[in-house]
Structure 1
Amino acid sequence: MTLNAIGDLARGLTLRTRSTEIKSQIETLSYEMSTGQVAEVSGRVGGDYSHLLDLDRKIAQLDAFSIATSEARLFSDAMQQSLSTFSDSLGEISGSLLAFGTSNQAVTHAQAADQARNELDSMISALNTRAGGRSLFAGTATDAAPLESADTLLSALRTQLAGLTTVTDIRQAAETWFNDPAGFEAVMYRGSNTTLAPMQVSETERVELPFTANDPAMRDALRDVAVAALASDPSLGWSPTLQTALFTELGVDLANAKDDTTTMRAQVGAVEARIEQAATRNSAAKTSFEYARNEIVAADPYETAAKLQTVQFQLESLYSVTVRNSNLSLVNFLR
């Protein structure tokens, strides 16, 4: 009978080789258990990665849209809050002018003018609001506050109204200065007349917030509140009767201006709704693509755990055999 045997050196080499193979399998299975993905994707896709790469591209694209919708949401929410503050100021001052203007008392006129001055500060501050480091109402000049201070506005307008003694002349002079490119736009507005480009919130949808502090509705509201703030200015010398008539007209027009602001807020609200809808659709699409990708590369946790347990047992058995072989010798046998 022929006996085939290998030497001790060859046996040791064989055991070490087998040990390395088993450890490699354990490492692979441990990776699959911890990540939930197969280590050898090529086998799953049959060497064709095109579908998997397309899913990865779509998921990455939706991640980018997620950031875009978050920024658009921040911008639109901040704009809505600013317009709310602006509208509230218009409501407060229009009511006060209509109420105070009927009393024909100097102290009441002064109070109305002071309130107009305070509301003018609030309105300019609202239009100078920034979100995410960008100005909301400066058009494409997002690095600059769109409006100068209320003091700058009142100083320039005071010069235009000096010497006028009728409501018609006062309002016409204010309107002319505010509409003149060398007037309000040159003195007060530091933004751009180019509105912001539409924001891409999905692969097929863009939203737009085309409002600036130089829009006619904004200018008209600022104009009327600024005129009211100057009504009791001693340097202009307007009589209480003139102030009463002026307050009455301004109060009515500012109430109408509040309606214009409400319309703008409704437009922003519609944009906010579209952003939320786009975000929801993007999230659903991403979940679908991630599920499809997972179906390709996912490792079955139960199967992987069973294989890992089997391989670990094989390694333990190999160690036992190695120890027993290392203890085999003629001397130990003869004892």
Structure 2
Amino acid sequence: MNTTLGDLAQSFMLQRRGAALKNDIHRLTQELSTGRVADTKSVLAGNFSYLSDIERDVRVLEGYKVATTEAAQFTETVQNILDGIQTNSSDLSDTMLLISTSAVETVLPQVEADSRANLANLVSSLNVDFGGRSLFAGAATDTAPLVSEEAILTGLISAVAGQTTASDIFAAAQAWFDNPAGFRAAVYQGSDNALSPFVLSDQDRLNIDIRADNPVLRNLMMNTAIGVIASDPSLALDVAVQRAVIAQAGQNLLGSQDQMTKMRAEVGFSQSRIEDVRARNAVEATSLEFARSALLAADPYETATKLEEVQFRLQGLYSVTVRLSELSLLNFIR
């Protein structure tokens, strides 16, 4: 028994076939341009667990990439600030030692001016924030760690008032900076707790704990501030004591350079560690991308061949459609 299709049914069948071929062309073109199969379900045969694990690990590594970038920028900023602080304190030390041996009394005020500028810069540097987060306030990331240089000078003058020798002045100054009821109560407003560690990978945590109340930084602030108050009229120190105080402050600043170098070396080690972890994460991410590509890769030669075949079939379908559209009773009976 012969079965024939009516004109309407035949037209509908040709439209469906044409739509299917167009979808195939779109899919194959996409695969050829991206290099990945469009229908992952058919490739994985319904087993998505392996691909899901890969994609989860890729997302985790993307998060670690953000963390390592932030940690690298954070430590670089800390390193640059410590570099500036060390350079300024070294220069001030040279100035103090030079002027303290000068026979000209009129140069002593230069120490006060240089020390005041250095102290203001030191406080400003330690109050710097990174992305809205304080660098040297420990866990109190929303707080500037130091009140102001004026708070330091006011507290220090009160602490050394009445002292008449250089050794007594430094002893009183050291006691005020070390006393929780002194410097920490009047000037430091950061946290006693360290900043939360940076999570760089599944195994790596990085702690950066340099706060503005660090003993090395306190020592710099103390000796710099002493350079400011040495000639303060309220203390009424004679010139010989002023020279002795300035000379001792210069020696102390000079002696702090090794400690500053050690602190910066520790930050440098952290920077190196961040780069090592970042490189390791990058290698792992590349391996995962390779595995995912191998799993979902579309063979370019095979895809191009299929695309050419589908295009040829679509062209043939168009030709048949045109031929059918030209049929009429008049053409049939000729």
Moved more, 49-58 or 147-156: 147-156
Q: Map 1:215-294 onto structure 2 (within 5 A).
A: 215-294=214-293
| One-letter amino acid of the counterpart of residue 238, structure 2 | S
Q: Which residue of 2 is the match for residue 139 of structure 1?
A: 138
Q: Which residue of 1 is the match for residue 185 of structure 2?
A: 186
| One-letter amino acid of the counterpart of residue 206, structure 2 | V
Aligned mates of 2:149, 2:197 — CA distance in 1: 31
Aligned mates of 1:11, 1:292 — CA distance in 2: 47
| One-letter amino acid of the counterpart of residue 275, structure 2 | E
Q: Which residue of 1 is the match for residue 40 of structure 2?
A: 41
Aligned mates of 1:69, 1:77 — CA distance in 2: 12
| One-letter amino acid of the counterpart of residue 185, structure 1 | R
CA-to-partner distance for each residue in 1:137-194, whole Å, 9 max, x for gaps?
Answer: 0001111111121122112211222222111211111111111111100111111110
Q: Which residue of 2 is the match for residue 7 of structure 1?
A: 6
Aligned mates of 1:89, 1:256 — CA distance in 2: 14
Aligned mates of 1:273, 1:114 — CA distance in 2: 39
| One-letter amino acid of the counterpart of residue 281, structure 2 | N
Q: Which residue of 2 is the match for residue 17 of structure 1?
A: 16
SS at match of 1:154: helix
TM-score relative to the length of structure 1: 0.96
Q: Which residue of 2 is the match for residue 113 of structure 1?
A: 112
Aligned mates of 2:153, 2:180 — CA distance in 1: 17
State whether residues 79 and 264 of structure 2, in contact with CA within 8 Å, keep that contact through their aligned partners in structure 1: yes
| One-letter amino acid of the counterpart of residue 79, structure 1 | V
CA-to-partner distance for each residue in 1:199-241, whole Å, 9 max, x for gaps?
Answer: 1112211111111001111111111110111111122211110
The unaligned stretches of length 5 or more in structure 1 are none
Q: Map 1:78-157 onto structure 2 (within 5 A).
A: 78-157=77-156
Aligned mates of 1:203, 1:140 — CA distance in 2: 23
Q: CA deviation at 1:11?
A: 2.1
SS at match of 2:191: coil
Aligned mates of 1:233, 1:104 — CA distance in 2: 20
Q: Which residue of 1 is the match for residue 212 of structure 2?
A: 213
State whether residues 85 and 122 of structure 1, in contact with CA within 8 Å, keep that contact through their aligned partners in structure 2: no
CA RMSD, Structure 1 to Structure 2 (Å):
1.5
Aligned mates of 1:81, 1:114 — CA distance in 2: 24
Q: CA deviation at 1:266?
A: 0.3
SS at match of 1:139: coil
Q: CA deviation at 1:301?
A: 2.4
CA-to-partner distance for each residue in 1:45-80, whole Å, 9 max, x for gaps?
Answer: 222111111110111111000000000001100000
The unaligned stretches of length 5 or more in structure 2 are none
Q: Does 2:332 match 1:333?
A: yes
State whether residues 127 and 144 of structure 2, in contact with CA within 8 Å, keep that contact through their aligned partners in structure 1: yes
Q: CA deviation at 1:251?
A: 1.3
Poorly superposed stretches of 4+, deviation over 4 Å? none
| One-letter amino acid of the counterpart of residue 237, structure 2 | W
| One-letter amino acid of the counterpart of residue 27, structure 2 | T
| One-letter amino acid of the counterpart of residue 163, structure 1 | G
Q: CA deviation at 1:287?
A: 0.5
State whether residues 226 and 246 of structure 2, in contact with CA within 8 Å, keep that contact through their aligned partners in structure 1: no
Q: CA deviation at 1:4?
A: 4.8
Q: CA deviation at 1:313?
A: 1.9
Moved more, 6-15 or 310-319: 6-15
Q: Does 2:309 match 1:310?
A: yes
State whether residues 200 and 206 of structure 2, in contact with CA within 8 Å, keep that contact through their aligned partners in structure 1: yes
Aligned residues: 334
Aligned mates of 1:80, 1:169 — CA distance in 2: 35
Q: CA deviation at 1:13?
A: 2.6
Aligned mates of 1:234, 1:330 — CA distance in 2: 122
Aligned mates of 1:142, 1:79 — CA distance in 2: 14
Q: Which residue of 2 is the match for residue 67 of structure 1?
A: 66
Q: CA deviation at 1:324?
A: 0.6
State whether residues 65 and 281 of structure 2, in contact with CA within 8 Å, keep that contact through their aligned partners in structure 1: yes
Aligned mates of 2:198, 2:89 — CA distance in 1: 30
| One-letter amino acid of the counterpart of residue 292, structure 2 | R
